[in-house]
Amino acid sequence: MNAGSLVAPDTSSRFAPDSPKMKQPLRVMKFGGTSVGDASCIARVAQILRDAAREGPIVAVVSAMSGVTNRLIEAATRSEAGDRDHAEAVFAALRKQHEAALATLVHDEGKKRQLAVHLEKLFSEGEELCKGTALLRELTPRTLDAISSLGERLSAPLVAGALCAQGVRSEAVESTELIVTDSYHGGADPIMDRTRERSEARLRPLLDQGILPVVTGFIGSTQDGILTTLGRGGSDYSATILGAAMSAGEVIIWTDVDGVLTADPRLVPDARTIPVISYREATELAYFGAKVLHPKTLRAVSQAGIPVWIRNTFAPERTGTKITPKGLSNGGGVKALTAISDVALITVGGPGIVGVPDVVGRTFSTTAQVHASVLMISQSSSQNDICFIVAASDAKRTVAALRKEFAQDVAHEKVEHITVDSTIAIVAVVGENMRGTPGVAGRTFNSLGRENVNIIAIAQGSSESNISFVVFQKDMKAALAATHREFGLSGPVVHDAVTKGS
Ligand code: ADP
Ligand code: ASP
Ligand code: MG
């Protein structure tokens, strides 16, 4: 399907395939929710793309407008509870928001009408899906994907429309046509060879004609054409998947901060931008909660070694952070900190546990069965307790599955308790060359001691590029501030450009 296909007349400053100006290899540029948050943001994005397109071919990938995915998910879950009014109110607000952006961005009456009809079809589709959900009082992962993906399907035609209005030939493309995934709804993974074939077949002819494709982030489809999503924040992953599929020279992730910073600037106000960072360091940060990058982002480009940039849509003159396979040693060990608080500590334990065969194996095959990703593990030497940490969203079903698995053992008092604690946070200290720097662990824990931060558990990966520890949520900010100071990571204040959340 052509998502609001709009191609402007061929009078623009667009790149042409054989233009002498074409210096750069293909670049994939992804814009997050805040970057496409309203009409003026989208106009800014169109300008960045127009300038970039003068230098070489570009594939754009866009997120939903800021806040939209959250509202769609809320509409879906409230519908499941039988509340039809809420979904109606959400769709009324979304219509208003997208129609206002359309009115500001596209002036040609014919094109505006064409786009309005396309957007209306998407709103109706969403409303129908919510009505069905309310009727059945059931929200399957497949339906949730269909509803939550509407934000990207709405924003991509708007961005393409804005580009056309600025004289850049552009076409919105739904990534269900490009990214082939497995059928794991809500967190699908790409099947790369099929994705490569489809992306080449669909995007290359557009690029060859000098048309800039604007692709929906976040979304893929199974081999049978069923829509899937790549997980929350997954548009970053969409960009690198397409970068790898199209053998791009680089992937640029445009967001609302200057790059990868030494810590989340919302938690550590004097965090500063890191100019170069390795795939591994960036992945560790993302895995432990640095929202600036989806944890799977670098997976797609690791084989080809394609560099990934993080840059600020609201300060495009700044260079940002370059993420490369090897990074750049900073000589001092620790490069950045991160923290994740929407996690839960699950404990399987009790004095009798020593007698239960294969508790560890059964525990983790259960977490695997329910697709819970385990962030940290700690086990006491006497085997009285196995503690591990999962995302808060995985906690309920993990505990339920464990209680089922160990029901017999609990009945016979071999397993005494399976408990969950949601008041904790993980803080991670990250730096690739920590390996050769003795004393990092000591300095970390001394600095926490000075601030009276109580440490609940500690883990250090064998890669020695990360030391992570568990603290109570109430101590998280103090733990970050203490370690940030201890490792001299502070610098000039980095201002968050706008308020956010997509
Ligand atoms: P987008 O909508 O562009 O995808 P996100 O909200 O997903 O943007 O990610 C950007 C946000 O990530 C920043 O606004 C910042 O608050 C947060 N963040 C967390 N940790 C870091 C970090 N180490 N460096 C930069 N940003 C970070
Ligand atoms: N819109 C999706 C989300 O909010 C994907 C993304 O923004 O990366 O999770
Ligand atoms: Mg994001």
**Is the distance from the beta carbon of residue 349 to the nearest atom of ligand 2 less than 6 Å?**
no
58 - beta bridge partners? 27
Give yes or no for a contact between 34 and 292, defined as CB atoms under 8 angstroms apart.
no
Nearest to 255 by CA among 308, 294, 312, 217: 312
Q: Report, as an integer, the average pLDDT of 266-281.
A: 95
DSSP assignment of 309-320: EEEETT-TTS--
Domain boundary pick from 223, 239, 256: 256
Q: What pLDDT shows up at residue 191?
A: 98
Mean pLDDT value of segment 147-174: 98
- Residue 4 confidence (pLDDT): 52
Asked which of 75-79, 215-219, 412-416 is least confident by mean pLDDT, the reply is 412-416
Q: Is residue 436 part of a domain?
A: yes
Mean pLDDT, rounded, of the chain: 90
- The C-alpha atoms of residue 228 and residue 209 are separated, in whole angstroms, by 30
Residue of minimum CA distance from atom 5 in ligand 1:
292
From CA 221, how far away is CA 182, in angstroms rounded? Answer: 8
pLDDT digits (tens, 9 = 90+) for 280-331: 999 999 999 999 999 999 999 999 999 999 999 999 999 999 999 999 876 6
241, 304 Cβ separation under 8 angstroms: no
**Measuring from atom 5 of ligand 2, which residue has the nearest CA?**
233
Q: Whose CA is nearest to atom 10 of ligand 1?
A: 292
Is 406 inside any structural domain?
Answer: yes
| Predicted local confidence at residue 299, as pLDDT | 97
Reply yes or no on whether the pLDDT at 497 is more than 90.
Answer: no
Q: Could you tell me if the CB of 33 is within 6 A of ligand 2?
A: yes
Contact yes or no for 140/79 (Cβ under 8 A)? no
Q: What's 152's domain CATH number?
A: 3.40.1160.10
Assess contact for 213 and 4: CB atoms under 8 A.
Answer: no
Residue 495 pLDDT level (bands cut at 50, 70, 90): very low
Q: What is the mean pLDDT of residues 35-61?
A: 98
CA distance 316 to 256: 10
Domain check: are 76 and 221 in the same one?
Answer: yes
User: How does residue 496 score in pLDDT terms, banded at 50, 70 and 90?
Assistant: very low
Q: Which of 227, 256, 285 is the last residue of a domain?
A: 256
| Residue 492 reports pLDDT greater than 50 | no
Residue with CA at minimum distance from ligand 2 atom 2: 233
Task: Kindly state if the Cβ of 235 falls inside 6 Å of ligand 2.
Answer: yes
pLDDT band at 397 (very low <50, low <70, confident <90, very high): very high
- Dist. CA 78–CA 91, nearest whole Å: 13
Give the helix/strand (H/E) hosting 149: none
Ligand 2 atom closest to Cα of residue 152 = 1
Same domain, 128 and 241: yes
The whole-number average pLDDT for the span 478-491 is: 91
Which residues, including other chains, have CB under 8 Å from residue 144's CB and lie 6 or more apart? 73, 76, 185, 186
CB 477 within 8 A of CB 373: no
**Residues β-bridged to residue 313:** none
In short, whether 67's Cβ falls inside 6 Å of ligand 2 is: no
pLDDT over threshold 50, residue 499:
no
Could you give the residue ranges of the DSSP H alpha helices within 54-108?
Answer: 68-80, 84-105
Average pLDDT over residues 354-374: 87
Q: Ligand 1 atom 26: the closest Cα is on which residue?
A: 292
Give the number of the atom of ligand 1 that is nearest the alpha carbon of residue 265.
16
Q: Which of 40-44, 283-287, 321-325, 433-437 has the lowest mean pLDDT?
A: 433-437
pLDDT at residue 5 tops 70: no
Q: How many CB atoms lie within 10 A of CB 463?
A: 11
Query: Which atom belonging to ligand 1 lies closest to the Cα atom of 32?
Result: 3
pLDDT tier, 373 (very low <50, low <70, confident <90, very high otherwise): confident
pLDDT of residue 371: 87
| Domain-embedded: residue 355 | yes
Please report the atom of ligand 2 found closest to the CA of residue 238. Answer: 8
Cα-flanking dihedrals φ and ψ of residue 214, to 5°?
-110, 110
Q: Are residues 232 and 355 in the same domain?
A: no
Comparing CA positions, the residue from 444, 443, 401 lying closest to residue 420 is 401
Whether residue 283 has its Cβ less than 6 Å from ligand 2: no
Mean pLDDT of 20-43: 91
Is 290 within a domain? no
Q: Is the pLDDT of residue 195 over 80?
A: yes
| Three-class secondary structure of residue 187 per DSSP | coil
Distance 70 CA to ligand 3 centre (A): 13
Closest by Cα among 407, 344, 415 to 384? 415
Q: Is the pLDDT of residue 491 over 80?
A: no
**CATH number of domain containing 463:** 3.30.2130.10
* Ligand 1 geometric centre to CA of 429 (Å): 17
Q: What is the pLDDT of residue 22?
A: 54
Q: Is residue 404 domain-resident?
A: yes
Quick check: CB of 73 below 6 Å from ligand 2? no
Between residues 375 and 20, the one the model is more confident about? 375
| Percent of all residues in the chain with a pLDDT value above 90, rounded to a whole number | 78
Cβ-based neighbours of 446, under 8 Å, separated by 6 or more: 486
Closest residue CA from atom 8 of ligand 2: 233
Residue 393, domain extent? 338-486
HEC assignment per residue over 337-370: EEEECCEEEEEEECHHHHHCCCHHHHHHHHHHHC
Instruction: Measure 264 CA to ligand 1 centroid, in angstroms.
Output: 7
Grouping H, G, I as helix, E, B as strand and the rest as coil, residue 497 is coil
Give the dihedral sign, CA 81/82/86/90: positive
| CA-closest residue to ligand 2 atom 6 | 233
Q: For residue 6, what pLDDT is reported?
A: 59
Ligand 1 atom closest to Cα of 31?
A: 3
Give the residue-averaged pLDDT of 426-434.
88
Alpha carbon dihedral 287, 291, 295, 298, in 10-degree steps, equals -120
**Can you tell me the mean pLDDT for 190-217?**
98
- Does some domain include residue 162? yes
Residue 379 pairs in a beta bridge with 386
> For residue range 162-186, what is the model confidence (pLDDT) as tens digits?
999 999 999 999 999 999 999 999 9
Query: Tokens in use for 29?
Result: 């540029």
Ligand 2 atom closest to Cα of 64?
1
CA distance 485 to 495: 19
Q: Do both 13 and 111 map to the same domain?
A: yes
The rounded Å distance from CA 383 to ligand 1 centre is: 39
- Residue 308, in any domain of the structure: no
What pTM does this model have? 0.90
| Within-domain flag for 292 | no
The reply to whether 235 and 375 lie within a common domain is no
Q: So what's the pLDDT on residue 498?
A: 36
- Say how many Å lie between the CA of residue 248 and the centre of ligand 3: 21
Shared-domain flag, residues 72 and 211? yes
**b or e along 202-224 (b: 16 or more beta carbons within 10 Å of the residue's beta carbon)?**
bbeebbeebbbbbbbbbbbbbee
Q: Domain boundary at 256, 277, 312, which?
A: 256
- Cα angle for residues 278, 282, 284 (degrees, 5° grid): 115
- Band the pLDDT of 68: cuts 50, 70, 90: very high
Ligand 1 pocket, Cβ-based, cut-off 6 angstroms = 32-35, 63, 233, 255-257, 260-261, 263-266, 285, 290-292, 336, 338, 496, 500, 502
Q: Which of 45, 262, 264 maximizes ligand 1 atoms within 8 Å of its Cβ, making it the mutation to test the pocket?
A: 264
Same domain, 53 and 192: yes
pLDDT of residue 15 exceeding 50: no
Least confident of 243-257, 275-289, 293-307, 485-499: 485-499
Mean pLDDT is lowest, of 77-91, 290-304, 365-379, for 365-379
Q: What is the pLDDT of residue 261?
A: 97
Q: Is the pLDDT of residue 356 over 80?
A: no
pLDDT of residue 238: 98
How many domains does the structure of the chain reveal? 2
Per-residue confidence (pLDDT) for residue 123, from 0 to 100: 98
Q: Residues of the chain with pLDDT > 70: what percent?
A: 90
Pocket test for ligand 2, best of 61, 65, 235 (most atoms within 8 A of CB): 235
Residue 182 three-state SS: coil
Point out the ligand 2 atom lying closest to the alpha carbon of residue 33. Answer: 7
